[in-house]
């Protein structure tokens, strides 16, 4: 799906309206096409952005530049940026003042906003021993300072970041005006002691620390691409696989489904596929409600969009999560992270996948 096709859809038209007059001028419809009508955005504070990791394959192959990616974000009305410093910063960790200046010039040119910086802590010193908390904090300061120079005030602390490090960093964040969000990532549940500990700190230091949900915790359905790969390899039977998926969506009991599969002349992979499909254990979107005030950023992971023009996520229940965010006052960005490069073929168009997700998000958010 190219940009022109994107903005010609109903949801794409909404995106163009929100993008502003400059974007409309740059992508105006041709005579005879459906006209783009300006509409008032709904009254909620959920905003759209993109994690630049989504374009990692294209960036790594040098088929696109960083500026190409930022221009793309602006074109689809996804103005918030999430970034990994090690990936996008030239001469990391010591970029020149010139590079930082060019970064800000791109922000001004495309109307984009630095939102969240993805942090990588390092628990090991020269791979010989674990780093002390003090050493780890010193290492962390590199990214804190880089992020601040680039305008990022929120930091995504990946799951596995030592809580002791985050606790030690609270005074630093309060002084620098930064906020750290510990990533809630599967299989860590909302009810874990880890989350409880972060919430205890967030009660005392709400402007310095909190939680950052990864949308992967709401994955409910199996991957269509993975299913097709198994069918092509001869380890899975199409009719049986589709029956299992349909039964799961209808809420049929697993034992009943497995029993019927046994009578369908299954291959060895068919029964295990039933186990895999029924093993999904997504979090309940409503469990976000009591912790929402501690969440200032959301990592919008997705692996693949369904084929066709319906623009729905193939695996994650965005249609159930986004309404909860809007209704209960989430104030921040959902920054798309396309992670499907690892599961889909080499010809997958990362830009197209992200555009499809933003058609879906605009349909759900109304802007």
Q: How far is Cα 164 from Cα 136, in angstroms, rounded to an integer?
A: 10
- The burial of 256, by beta-carbon neighbours within 10 Å (0-12 exposed, 13-18 middle, 19 or more buried), is given as exposed
47-221+281-365 CATH, one of 3.20.20.150, 3.30.70.360, 3.30.565.10, 2.40.50.100: 3.20.20.150
One pLDDT digit (tens) per residue for the chain, 367 residues: 666 555 555 444 444 333 332 332 233 223 333 333 344 557 899 999 999 999 999 999 999 999 999 999 999 999 999 999 988 999 999 999 999 999 999 999 999 999 999 988 777 766 788 889 999 999 999 999 999 999 999 999 998 899 999 999 999 999 999 999 999 998 888 889 999 999 999 999 999 999 999 999 999 999 998 999 999 999 999 999 999 999 999 999 999 999 999 999 998 899 899 999 999 999 999 999 999 999 999 999 999 998 877 799 999 999 999 999 999 999 999 999 999 777 666 678 999 999 999 999 999 999 8
Angle subtended by helix axes 163-176 and 193-204, to nearest 10: 20
Domain boundaries, the chain: 47-221+281-365, 224-278
pLDDT of residue 22: 32
Q: How far is Cα 7 from Cα 20, in angstroms, rounded to an integer?
A: 13
CA distances from 217 to 281, 316, 318 (A): 8, 8, 11
pLDDT of residue 280: 94
Q: What does 268-320 look like in DSSP terms, one character per residue? A: HHHHHHHHHHHT--PPPGGGGGGGGGGB--EEEEES-BPSSSS--BSSB-HHH
360 Rama class: left (phi>0) / alpha (psi -120 to 50) / beta: alpha
pLDDT of residue 309: 78
pLDDT of residue 33: 34
pLDDT of residue 36: 36
Q: How far is Cα 305 from Cα 132, in angstroms, rounded to an integer?
A: 42
């Amino acid at each position: 799906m190219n940009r022109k096709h994107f903005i010609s859809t109903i949801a794409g038209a909404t995106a163009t309206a929100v993008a502003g007059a400059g974007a409309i001028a740059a992508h105006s419809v041709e005579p005879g096409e459906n006209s783009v009508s300006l509409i008032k955005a709904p009254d909620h504070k959920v905003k759209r952005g993109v994690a630049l990791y989504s374009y990692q394959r294209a960036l790594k192959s040098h088929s696109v530049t960083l500026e190409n990616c930022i221009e793309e974000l602006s074109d689809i009305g996804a103005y918030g940026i999430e970034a990994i410093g090690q990936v996008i910063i030239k001469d990391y960790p010591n970029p020149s003042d010139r590079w930082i200046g060019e970064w800000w010039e791109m922000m001004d040119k495309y109307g984009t906003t630095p939102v969240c910086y993805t942090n990588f802590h390092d628990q090991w010193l020269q791979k010989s021993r674990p780093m002390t908390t003090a050493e780890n904090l010193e290492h962390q300061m590199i990214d804190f300072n880089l992020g601040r120079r680039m305008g990022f005030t929120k930091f995504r602390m990946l799951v596995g970041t030592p809580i002791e490090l985050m606790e030690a960093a609270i005074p630093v964040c309060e002084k620098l005006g930064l906020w750290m969000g510990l990533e809630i990532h599967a299989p860590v549940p909302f009810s874990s002691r880890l989350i409880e500990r972060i919430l205890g700190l967030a009660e005392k230091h709400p402007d310095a620390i909190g939680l950052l949900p990864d949308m992967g915790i709401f994955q409910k359905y199996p991957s269509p691409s993975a299913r097709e790969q198994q069918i092509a390899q001869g380890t899975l039977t199409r009719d049986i696989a589709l029956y299992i998926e349909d039964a799961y969506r209808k809420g049929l009991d697993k034992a009943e489904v497995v029993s019927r599969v046994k009578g369908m002349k299954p291959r060895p992979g068919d029964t295990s596929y039933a186990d895999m499909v029924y093993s999904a254990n997504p979090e309940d979107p409503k469990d976000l409600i009591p912790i929402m005030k501690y969440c200032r950023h959301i990592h919008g992971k997705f692996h693949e969009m369904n084929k066709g023009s319906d623009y729905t996520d193939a695996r994650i229940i965005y249609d159930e999560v986004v309404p909860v965010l809007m209704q209960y006052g989430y104030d921040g960005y959902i920054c798309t992270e396309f992670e499907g490069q690892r599961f889909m073929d080499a010809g997958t168009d990362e830009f197209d996948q992200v555009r499809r997700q933003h058609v879906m998000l605009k349909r759900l958010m109304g802007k």
